[in-house]
């Protein structure tokens, strides 16, 4: 979400081009797509180039001001699994599996959607391991990076299918990325790192600049709301440390 801009009129377009730097702006380097307001959702798929299997359907957290997201479309985390209707999930899964097979994708890849009026609009395909994998691993108690590696051999692919067949998502896991609202003194970093549920910890060797990611929070619970609110409570603890 770093180089994504919302354009509502011609003046917005001119302002954004100037912001990017008109001198070096090349239209061929940019894509324009319709802005669709709705709930951001993603689907994580694993493939061997011929067959594809679903890992999880996830609720995306994008541009969250409470997490101090520096940009409107900045990825801030996700909740696994997404708390959506079965019909919505089926359509998202069907589209993702179809495209993954048609494109001959291999390994773990991500499909981003916006859910509006119960219909998923495909935004983009990420031909790489998506950021949601960490929460998926937690929710499934499965080493997905190991499955990614194994998916590239015939024997390994059978292991992947059997593992996913047996895997069950019985809890909700929320991942949140907390961004620095201001410069954070390096002497406070260890206090943040010592908090429970904090991961991807910053090294306390220098100050953290404003807008830089500070850490990741991973919180698991039996319900969507308990998982999400549990993560927010850790965010509140971080805010108290740095106030």
Same domain, 49 and 108: yes
- CA-nearest of 60, 78, 89 to 139 is 78
pLDDT tens per residue, range 124-141: 999 999 999 999 999 999
pLDDT tens per residue, range 65-101: 999 999 999 999 999 999 999 999 999 999 999 999 9
pLDDT tens per residue, range 142-175: 999 999 999 999 999 999 999 999 998 989 999 9
CATH code (residue 102): 3.30.470.20
Same domain, 44 and 125: yes
pLDDT value, residue 28: 86
Residue with tokens 């995306």: 60
Residue 1 predicted with pLDDT over 80 = no
Q: How many residues does the chain have?
A: 243
Measured between alpha carbons, how far is 217 from 208 in angstroms, rounded to an integer?
Answer: 17
Same domain, 128 and 195: yes
Same domain, 94 and 23: no
Cis peptide before 100 (omega within 30 of 0): no
Same domain, 8 and 44: no
Please state the domain count of the chain. Answer: 2
DSSP letter assigned to residue 189: H
Residue with tokens 């929320």: 174
- CA-nearest of 96, 66, 76 to 174 is 76
Mean pLDDT of 196-210: 98
- CA-nearest of 178, 177, 174, 216 to 198 is 216
Same domain, 76 and 11: no
Same domain, 86 and 128: yes
Same domain, 26 and 43: no
Same domain, 190 and 80: yes
Same domain, 46 and 131: yes
8 Å CB contact between 3 and 74: no
Same domain, 95 and 144: yes
Same domain, 20 and 44: no
> What range does the domain containing 11 cover?
1-32
**pTM (two decimals):** 0.92
Measured between alpha carbons, how far is 232 from 226 in angstroms, rounded to an integer?
Answer: 10
């Amino acid at each position: 979400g770093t180089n994504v801009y919302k354009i509502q009129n011609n003046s917005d377009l001119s302002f954004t081009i100037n912001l990017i730097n008109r001198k070096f702006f090349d239209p061929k380097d940019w894509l324009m797509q319709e802005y669709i307001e709705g709930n951001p959702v993603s689907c994580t798929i694993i493939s061997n180039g011929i067959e594809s299997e679903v890992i999880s359907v996830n609720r995306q957290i994008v541009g969250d001001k409470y997490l101090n997201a520096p940009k409107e479309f900045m990825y801030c985390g996700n909740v696994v699994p997404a708390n959506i209707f079965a019909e919505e999930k089926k359509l998202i899964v069907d589209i993702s599996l179809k495209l993954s097979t048609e494109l001959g994708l291999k390994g773990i890849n991500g499909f981003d959607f916006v859910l509006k009026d119960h219909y998923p609009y495909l935004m983009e395909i990420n031909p790489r391991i998506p950021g949601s994998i960490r929460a998926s691993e937690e929710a499934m108690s499965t080493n997905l990076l190991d499955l990614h590696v194994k998916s590239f051999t015939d024997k390994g692919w059978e292991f992947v299918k059997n593992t996913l067949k047996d895997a069950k998502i019985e809890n909700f896991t929320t991942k949140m990325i907390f961004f620095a609202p201001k410069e954070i003194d390096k002497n406070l970093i260890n206090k943040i790192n010592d908090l429970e549920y904090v991961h991807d910890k910053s090294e306390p060797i220098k100050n953290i600049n404003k807008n830089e990611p500070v850490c990741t929070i991973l919180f698991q619970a039996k319900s969507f709301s308990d998982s999400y609110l549990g993560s927010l409570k850790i965010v509140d603890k971080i805010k108290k440390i740095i106030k």
